[in-house]
């Protein structure tokens, strides 16, 4: 049976004036409308599609690429607001509903919201929810302390910032472990500080001590190697905000790291920035 909200490979089994019907070798057949049919598709071919319900509540396939899959988290933009909820842009012709009951704050058009994709029990339709904690659980944690991870900030609490880790787990960046303000819906990187016995995960933005310093040195050097002419327009005069935005580290750590690179004679310091020797 085709899975709602997932990418999957299905076989073209029949062609009609409306498009191709696809199947996964079960009894169910799903329409791939003509406007989504790839060029040269023939009966018997396999095609990767996303399965959802259209505006007439029919299960349908598309070759469009949505920005989110079932059970996953993404940052989506609010494009419309109705009595029963907000509508989000997610890459398909039909906008995604964020019902009122699944919202956790005031919503406005143009706002970026962090949501998880779920299937509504009553309507059996795909919908979005801001209540991340209800859908992600910290079970079977496949992370190590000091591991670098991708995070999405989704809520501020009295203790700090709640984050989604690698689109699978929930973690917390404690306020006393941040060198700057984090923004809701911000996507950045961090490090696993501690995995507690109750499976709660602490995240820090930068590693501490020598390991954090060594990682920063390597990251700056790598960015220089990838930069045009081996030059980056950042130095001691750059603002903390600029440093954090480009390198995801504090200005103090940045200055210490470029000092190390300079002492090793790997870079030159100029009035305009830093460059490889």
Q: Is residue 139 part of a domain?
A: no
> pLDDT-derived band of residue 41, with 50, 70 and 90 as boundaries?
very high
Q: Quick: pLDDT tens for 94-151.
A: 899 999 999 998 999 999 999 999 999 888 899 999 999 999 999 999 999 889 999 9
What's the CATH code of the domain at 184? 2.40.50.140
Confidence check: pLDDT of 8 > 90? yes
Burial degree of 16 (CB within 10 A; 0-12, 13-18, 19+) = exposed
234 assigned to some structural domain: yes
pLDDT tens-digit series, residues 52-78: 998 788 899 999 999 999 999 999 999
pLDDT in tens, 168-227: 999 999 987 777 788 999 999 999 989 999 999 999 987 755 456 777 888 888 889 998
Same domain, 256 and 217: yes
| pLDDT at site 56 | 82
Asked whether residue 67 is domain-assigned, the answer is no
pLDDT recorded at residue 166 = 96
223 within domain boundaries: yes
Residue 143: inside a domain:
no
Range of the domain at 105: 73-133
pLDDT for the residue numbered 101: 95
- Could you tell me if residue 231 is inside a domain? yes
For residue 21, is pLDDT > 70?
Answer: yes
Looking at the domain assignment, is residue 140 inside a domain? no
Indicate the residue among 20, 40, 62 that finishes a domain: 62
Q: What pLDDT was estimated at residue 175?
A: 87
Looking at residue 1, what is its pLDDT?
62
Q: Report how many domains make up the chain.
A: 4
- What pTM was computed for the model? 0.76
User: Cβ-count burial of 67 within 10 angstroms (0-12 exposed, 13-18 middle, 19+ buried)?
Assistant: middle
């Amino acid at each position: 049976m085709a899975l709602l909200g997932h990418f999957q490979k299905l076989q073209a089994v029949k062609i009609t004036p409306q498009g191709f019907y696809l199947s996964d070798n079960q009894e169910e057949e799903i329409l791939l409308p003509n406007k989504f049919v790839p060029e040269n598709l023939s009966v018997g071919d396999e095609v990767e599609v996303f399965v959802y319900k259209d505006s007439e509540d029919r299960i349908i396939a598309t070759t469009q690429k949505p920005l989110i899959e079932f059970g996953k988290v993404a940052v989506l933009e609010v494009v419309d607001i109705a009595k029963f909820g907000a509508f989000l842009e997610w890459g398909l012709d039909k906008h995604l509903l964020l019902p009122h009951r699944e919202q956790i704050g005031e919503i406005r058009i143009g706002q970026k919201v962090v949501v998880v994709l779920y299937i509504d029990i009553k309507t059996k339709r795909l919908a979005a929810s801001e209540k991340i904690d209800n859908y992600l659980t910290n079970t079977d944690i496949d992370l190590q302390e000091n591991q670098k991870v991708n995070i999405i900030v989704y809520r501020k609490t009295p203790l700090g910032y709640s984050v989604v880790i690698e689109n699978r787990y929930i973690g917390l960046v404690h306020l006393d472990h941040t060198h700057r303000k984090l923004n809701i819906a911000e996507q950045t990187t961090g490090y696993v500080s501690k995995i507690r016995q109750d499976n709660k995960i602490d995240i820090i933005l930068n590693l501490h001590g020598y390991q954090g310093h060594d990682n920063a040195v390597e990251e700056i050097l790598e960015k220089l190697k990838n930069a045009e002419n081996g030059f980056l327009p950042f130095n001691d005069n750059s603002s903390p905000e600029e440093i954090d935005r480009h390198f995801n580290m504090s200005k103090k750590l940045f200055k210490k790291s470029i000092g190390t690179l300079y002492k090793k004679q790997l870079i030159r310091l100029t009035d305009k920035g830093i460059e490889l020797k």
